[in-house]
Amino acid sequence: MTLNFDDLLKQIGGFGRAQLLIFLVPALIAILSGFHTLAPIYLLYTPEYRCRPQSGIGSNRSTLNESVAQNLESIGKCSYGNETGPACHEWIYDQTEFASTFVTEFNLVCKNALVGTWIKTCTFAGFMVGVFVTGFLSDLLGRRRCLIACLCLYGSAALGSAFCQSPVAMALTRFFIGFGAMGAFTVSFVIGTEIVGPEARFHTGMAIEYFWTLGSCAVAGLAYLIHDWRHLQLVLSAPVLLVLVASLPPAVVPESPRWLLHKGRVNEARDVIRRMARLNRATVDIGRELDSVLEGDGPDNGGGGGRSTEKVTPSLTEASTDCAAVRVDDGSGQRSEPRWRHRFRAAAVAARQLICQAPRLLAEYCIICFNWFSIALVYYGLIMGSGTLPGSIFLTSLLTAMVEFPAYILGHATVNRLGRKVVCVAFNSLSAVSLFGLLLVVLLAPDLSWLIITLSMLGKLFNTTAFGVIYLWTAELYPTSIRNIGVSTSSMCARIGTLFAPALADIQNFVPGKAGTVLAYSIFVSISVAAVLLAMFVPETGNRKLPDSLEQMISIRCRSICKEKPSNTVFRKIC
């Protein structure tokens, strides 16, 4: 009798002391990622400001508070004489909430206001590149090596950011902070899910999101206590270096045994599993059980350490004469290829078959990618815009972070009962309704600060629930053979959406006055509504058998498609 790797994890303990100790590092990295995702809200905060008087009354004042007391209302923000005089080059700032921010130190206001927005965008550009690069490197070099490299980059960039002497240096360090933070978060998430049994995998995935939210809340408290941006950045960077040092011993963060088996490094995988079993006090013959696993097809389905000589033949081509078959064979007598090229060719064949035989599936894939784009855009747009809401920046940003706790609880409680599609579409719709109400209040009753904050928090809550569920929905849409590719490319669309979030949060730098705020919320509402309407055409995946191959996925979908009596020639061939 052969076992798969999940069976072996159950025997040594699906979530015992060994997994708990290893899981502490992904949990800490999630907290740190929350730190540095929200940090630009405070580091690049723009307080109220006016031109510094050229001479006379108040010219020796350094803060806006004192100047207002000197009755200097006639001084404008960007020029003297209520915006009609000559442009000014020095400013005085309100220091009620921060003694110093990067914006006030380098005077990133008026014509230089866009520089702060671009610096924030660099963080999200780092997110996007980090997800792509680390996803590739973690499969090629291993989870542990990639995690340590990301933490080194993350820690050094975070520490260096506190000593930046120019906006260009700040932009570069923010990019590498985003790269390292998202790379470390992604790799640690994979480690946290690969070392636990299947019954605990969903819960550990959700738990990491709770820790991320905890970090988002904690940074608001730190910013409230530390009013200088350089000191705040130093405090935020110190834990990254501590986690890096703690992660260096292999006993704390071992290599993923799944990856080791996949690469054929059986002895190393045996050592890791034996240590986990010893910590979990499991009495299992690791050698015999691992040999049983290796008799199967691979670490995920039962098997062999990544040295399979099985022929890979895309049989879907038999269903359509429009797509040519491609055979990749590592057996004797055939040309052998490197594994990466083997996988690339297999993915290319799968994509070609998908396009040729099932255009509806391709349309569903594009719809899911658009949903990722829209949900991420609204999510990060509301986070980055929390500093512009009425009231204290510390309170509004803290509330924006705290609503994620009930959001994840809602998703956790409803996703298995109502289904992935129903929950994602319903909560995305509620988010759109809340933001539309917020748009009306901004237009008709802008003085109702409590209502503006309430509707903004509701929009964030519902959007976060949809964001949490779309991960699971997307993973279940794709067959096992291309699931990682599908989820990765969908997540890449989300990172593209985040690039626009800082610009919408700082929309008044582009479109001054109420018109800018109305435009930003109009974009949030319209893109959410479009995502909801398009998502209606994507099937439900809850409580259904997951396909293992592209053939199974098309077969499952065709059962419903054929009932519609399709006129499309390709669909008639498949049916």
Output 475 or 246, whichever has higher pLDDT: 246
* Contact between 261 and 5 (Cβ < 8 Å): yes
Per-residue confidence at 32, pLDDT binned at 50, 70, 90? very high
Q: At what angle do helices 17-43 and 266-279 cross, to 10 degrees?
A: 100
Q: Give the range among 126-130, 478-482, 520-524 with minimum mean pLDDT.
A: 478-482
Q: What pLDDT, on the 0 to 100 scale, is given for residue 478?
A: 73
Average pLDDT on 144-173 reads 94
pLDDT band for position 204 (50/70/90)? confident
Token pair, residue 364, equals 């569903």
Where residue 40 falls among pLDDT bands split at 50, 70, 90?
very high
Q: Encode 454-505 in three state secondary structure.
A: HHHHHHHHHHHHHHHHHHHHHHHHCCHHHHHHHHHHHHHHHHHHHCCHHHHH
Q: Across-strand partners of 79?
A: 87
**pLDDT for 31:** 93
In this predicted structure, the answer to whether residue 519 has a pLDDT above a threshold of 70 is yes
- In this prediction, residues 61-72 reach a mean pLDDT of 49
The widest CA-to-CA distance across the chain, in whole angstroms, is: 92
pLDDT band at 138 (very low <50, low <70, confident <90, very high): confident
Phi-psi region of 15 (alpha: psi -120 to 50; beta: other; left: phi over 0): beta
Q: Residue 465 — φ and ψ, nearest 5°? A: -60, -45
The pLDDT tens digits for 107-129 are: 998 888 889 999 999 999 998 88
Q: Give the type of residue at 446.
A: P
In 3D space, the residue among 420, 418, 421, 359 whose CA is nearest the CA of residue 557 turns out to be: 359
Cβ distance 4 to 301 under 8 Å?
yes
Domain boundaries defined on the chain = 358-544
State the average pLDDT for the chain: 78
pLDDT for the residue numbered 365: 83
Identify residue 467 by its one-letter amino acid code. F
Give the least confident one: 16-30, 95-109, 290-304.
Answer: 290-304
Contact 486, 474 (CB under 8 A): yes
Q: How far is CA 481 from the centre of its chain?
A: 23
User: What is the number of helices (H) and of strands (E) in the chain?
Assistant: 23, 2
Query: Higher model confidence: residue 400 or residue 286?
Result: 400
Instruction: Fill in the amino acid letter for 88.
Output: C
Lowest mean pLDDT among 68-72, 140-144, 285-289: 68-72
Task: Note the CATH architecture for domain 358-544.
Answer: Up-down Bundle (1.20)
pTM (two decimals): 0.78
Judge contact between 197 and 149, C-beta under 8 A. Answer: no
